[in-house]
Amino acid sequence: MKVGIVGATGAVGRQMITCLEERNIPIEELRLFASDKSKGIKLPFHDTQIEVRVVEDGCFNGLEYVLGAVSNALSKQYRPMIEKAGAVYIDNSSAFRMEDDVPLVIPEINGEDALQHHGTIANPNCSTIITLMAVAPMNHLSKITSIQACTYQAVSGAGKQGIEELENEIQGKQAEAKVFPAQIAYNVIADIGTMLDNGYTTEEMKMQNEGRKILHLPDLKVTCTCVRVPVYRSHSISASVVTEQQISIEDAKNSIRQFDGDVLCEDTIPMPIDTSDQDLVYVGRIRRDLVNDKGLVVWCCGDQIRKGAATNAVEIMQYLNAH
């Protein structure tokens, strides 16, 4: 396979390279792209060093897939160039996720949607991926009608600069927040994304908007509160899930246990320190919703740079390649 990565030097980009290595995907050529300020940087891939390039006319020619780990603005710039070169663009940004022609895919849940692409496939939002990985097994048993979710999102969700800001603040080296709306060290911030008129943030609305598309549930209702916490890596989410028919706790556990990509935690509790640097989503604390007897409550945790971003994108590529 001939693969390109745009945004290769960022947290997600670097993770994509690692995922390609780990899965021993037969790569004939890996082309890495980054901004001008990363010029000259060489990144390791197996036993070679690959020098990053800038994006310019014709730079994608010959590639079959391009994985995107760049901002929405850059993604909008690169997409036509990638499609023109005939490569399939698997994009982590939120630029195209809700477009009708663009599949929005978590392979274990709706992999087949990827086959409908018209050149671009979108990778969903990180906390949405992790939450849906946890609740999709229940959707198999009975249609989900609503979700109440509260997130506990790691700082690396804002990239390398998010990690540095927390580090600096802990070490007393930074007095004023630049990346986050306020100090994140020893604090929690219920403000991720941009505030909308309905009082929710863009980050919070993703869980409903993207959830509907991925689960094929156009009437799914999701109330979400997204909160940044002083954790480096791995997002955690508490989710109350109501289904059309009541699902027993045993049935839910069995479904999660059998669900590819999930780990059922029965005697342990999913935590960032355990889920970081691996690809599975840990799901535990499964119990009855005391407010609604057709509801179950779960606690899930996953590495949002991996399954929440890089790994999911690589898995989409592997899915396409296999079908």
* Residues in region 2-41 near a copy of itself by CB under 8 A: none
Residues 145-174, interacting with a copy of itself (CB under 8 A): 146-148, 150, 152, 170
**Which of helix, strand or coil describes residue 321?**
helix
Q: By C-beta, is 155 or 316 nearer to a copy of itself?
A: 155
CB 63 within 8 A of CB 3: yes
Residues 6+ positions from 267 with CB-CB distance below 8 Å: none
Told to check if 282 binds a copy of itself by CB under 8 A, we report no
Residue closer to a copy of itself by CB (options 77, 223) is 223
CB of 301 to a copy of itself, least distance (A): 8
- Told to check if 125 binds a copy of itself by CB under 8 A, we report no
**Residue 16 burial (CB count, 10 A):** 31
Q: From CA 276, how far away is CA 88, in angstroms rounded?
A: 29
Which residue among 19, 59, 226, 235 is the active-site one? 235
The 10 Å Cβ neighbour count of residue 230 is: 17
Sheet holding 262-264, edge to edge: 221-225, 144-152, 235-243, 295-302, 281-288, 262-264
- Number of chain positions touching a copy of itself (CB under 8 A): 49
- Residue number, 35 or 225, with CB nearest to a copy of itself: 225
Q: Which is nearer to a copy of itself, 16 or 135 (CB)?
A: 135
Stretch that binds a copy of itself, among 53-61, 98-106, 278-286, 309-317 (CB under 8 A): 278-286
220: its two tokens:
């799914």
Question: Quick one: CA torsion of 306, 196, 97, 9, rounded to 10 degrees?
Answer: -40
Closest CB 82 distance from a copy of itself, rounded Å = 35
Minimum gap (Å) between residue 222 Cβ and a copy of itself: 6
Q: Cβ closer to a copy of itself: 24 or 171?
A: 171
CB of 226 to a copy of itself, least distance (A): 10
Residue 235 appears among annotated catalytic residues: yes
Distances (CA, A) of 48 to 9, 16, 137, 314: 16, 16, 40, 20
Q: Which of 27, 41, 271, 280 binds a copy of itself (CB under 8 A)?
A: 271
CB 60 to a copy of itself: min, Å: 38
Q: Which of 19, 59, 126, 265 is catalytic?
A: 126
Cβ density class 97-123: b for 16+ within 10 Å, e for less: beeeebbbbbbbbbbebbeebeebbbb
Q: Is 143 a binder of a copy of itself (CB under 8 A)?
A: no
Q: Is 273 in the site for a copy of itself (CB under 8 A)?
A: yes
Tokens of 320: 């396409």
B/e letters for 26-56, b = 16+ CB within 10 Å, e = fewer, are eeeebbbbbbeebeeeebebeeeebebeebe
**Binding range to a copy of itself, per CB under 8 A, among 16-24, 68-76, 228-236, 302-310:** 228-236
283 or 314: whose CB is closer to a copy of itself? 283
Q: What is the DSSP letter of 195?
A: B
Q: Is position 226 annotated as part of the catalytic site?
A: no
Angle, CA of 192, 137 and 236, to the nearest 5°: 30
Q: Which residues are catalytic?
A: 126, 235
Q: Which residues bind a copy of itself (CB under 8 A)?
A: 146-148, 150, 152, 170, 181-183, 186-191, 198-200, 208, 221-223, 225, 227, 229-232, 236, 238, 240, 242, 249, 269-273, 284-291, 295, 297, 299
